[in-house]
Amino acid sequence: MSDAPKTASDYFGSMGFEYDSLIHRSVPCYDQMIKTLIDYLPKQPRSALELGCGSGGLSLPLVRHAPDCAFTFVDAAQKMVELTRTRLQEAFPDVAHRATFVTERFEDYRMGRGQFDLVVSSFSLHHVEDKATLFRRVRESITSGGTFRFADQLSGGSDVNDALMWKSLLDFMQAPGNCTETEVQSMMDHSKAHDHHTPLAVHFKLLQDAGFVGIDCVWRDAMWTVITADVA
Please work out, in degrees rounded to the nearest 5, the angle formed at the alpha carbon of residue 79 by the alpha carbons of 49 and 106.
35
In the predicted model, is pLDDT for residue 8 greater than 50?
yes
pLDDT at 231: 98
Residue ranges per structural domain of the chain:
8-230
Write down the pTM of the prediction: 0.92
Cα–Cα distance, 116 to 112 (Å, whole number): 9
Query: Are 62 and 48 a contacting pair, CB within 8 Å?
Result: yes
In the predicted model, is pLDDT for residue 18 greater than 90?
no
Question: Which of 15-29, 33-47, 168-182 is predicted with the least confidence, judged by mean pLDDT?
Answer: 15-29
User: 113-145: per-residue pLDDT in tens?
Assistant: 999 999 999 999 999 999 999 999 999 999 999
User: 88-117: per-residue pLDDT in tens?
Assistant: 999 999 999 999 999 999 999 999 999 999
Report the topology of domain 8-230: Rossmann fold (3.40.50)
For the segment 78-93, the average pLDDT, to the nearest whole number, is: 95
